[in-house]
Amino acid sequence: MKSPEPHVRDIVSRESPEPLYRQIATLIEGQVRSGQLEVGSRLDAEPVLARRFDVSRVTVRLAIGELARKGLVVRKQGKGTFISQPAVRHDLRRLHGLLGTLFAQSDKAHVDLLRYELRVPPADVRHAMGLRAGQPALLLVRLYMIDDKPVLYGEDWLIAQAAEVPRATARLISTEDILRQVGVRLAYAETSIRAETVGADARKSLKVPMHAPVLMLRRTAYGEDGGIKEFGRLAFCSDSYEFYFSTRASGAAANPLAIRTVVGADEDKPENPASMGERK
């Protein structure tokens, strides 16, 4: 039987330096993100895809593996491979802009502002921000959603001056933009990422089982005067977010927002603040 002719967008190039399996993965990823392949639908079987792209089944298997690594497909034993909800990709060089990233990549995204209050932070946050005893800070707690699925629970503490921004405005802009509205510009930030368990409120909001680890991002943002302007703890559903960053050769132009990043759970752990999401 003659193999069906591939659609023009499914043609891969054997002259390209990009491996064939990555070309195939990129083409399928584009169809997933554009909605041509719907979440929950079954991906064609390996023999069908091999004919469609005129490649071997080994090449197709590698492409599917690449898609699975990105969380775009899930394999079900005896049933096939199915399209899953694409992960939101966030560039770690852009420490802020989580709202923009989410809305840019999903037209079904929305954010609930659960708490917005000026209060004296707990001791661990006070020490992390270098605040005096009794000095207040602005607390924002947000739940980021795609459809009805929670993907991120964020707890941010900002300097008290940020409370001048009305709640209705703060609900839809980034913490960086909140600070900018009160005349504070950020110069650099420090970030760490590791797998951790979270407190009851965060666990309930994210709908994760007790003791189940989530991807926790901690960040401390500094202003142009060197002072700490924000301390945040953000818990991500690990199958919903993908973090990435690129590196430059020595001597290349530096990124305007310098970020010192620690990724993984094997680094020396800093002082451990109380679990986020606990009722205070």
Please indicate, yes or no, whether residues 137 and 255 belong to a single structural domain of this protein: yes
Domain closes at, from 32, 50, 83: 83
pLDDT tens-digit profile of 81-105? Answer: 998 766 565 555 554 556 555 555 5
26, 60, 83: which is the final residue of a domain? 83
Clarify whether residues 209 and 117 are in a common domain.
yes
Contact status, residue 117 vs residue 155, Cβ threshold 8 Å: no
| 83 CB-side CA count, 13 A | 19
Give the model's pLDDT for residue 122. Answer: 96
The β-bridge partners of 81 are 75
155 and 53 inside one domain: no
Q: What is the tens place of the pLDDT at every residue in 61-86?
A: 999 999 988 778 888 888 899 987 66
Using DSSP, state whether 247 is helix, strand or coil.
Answer: coil
For residues 71 and 161, state if they share a domain: no
Asked, for residue 97, whether it belongs to a domain, the answer is yes
Q: Which of 131-145, 177-191, 218-232, 242-256 has the lowest mean pLDDT?
A: 242-256
Within 8 A by CB and 6+ apart from 151, the residues are 88, 102, 144, 145, 236, 237, 240, 241
Does residue 2 lie within any of the structural domains? no
Which residue range is the domain that position 18 belongs to? 8-83
**What mean pLDDT value characterizes the chain?**
80
Q: What is the DSSP string of 114-168?
A: EEEEEEPPPHHHHHHHTPPTT--EEEEEEEEEETTEEEEEEEEEEEGGGGGS-HH
| Structural domain includes residue 227 | yes
Q: How many domains does the chain have?
A: 2
Residue 207 scores a pLDDT above 60 = yes
Note whether residue 167 is domain-resident: yes
Express each pLDDT in 4-32 by its tens digit: 444 434 678 888 899 999 999 999 988 88
273: in domain: no
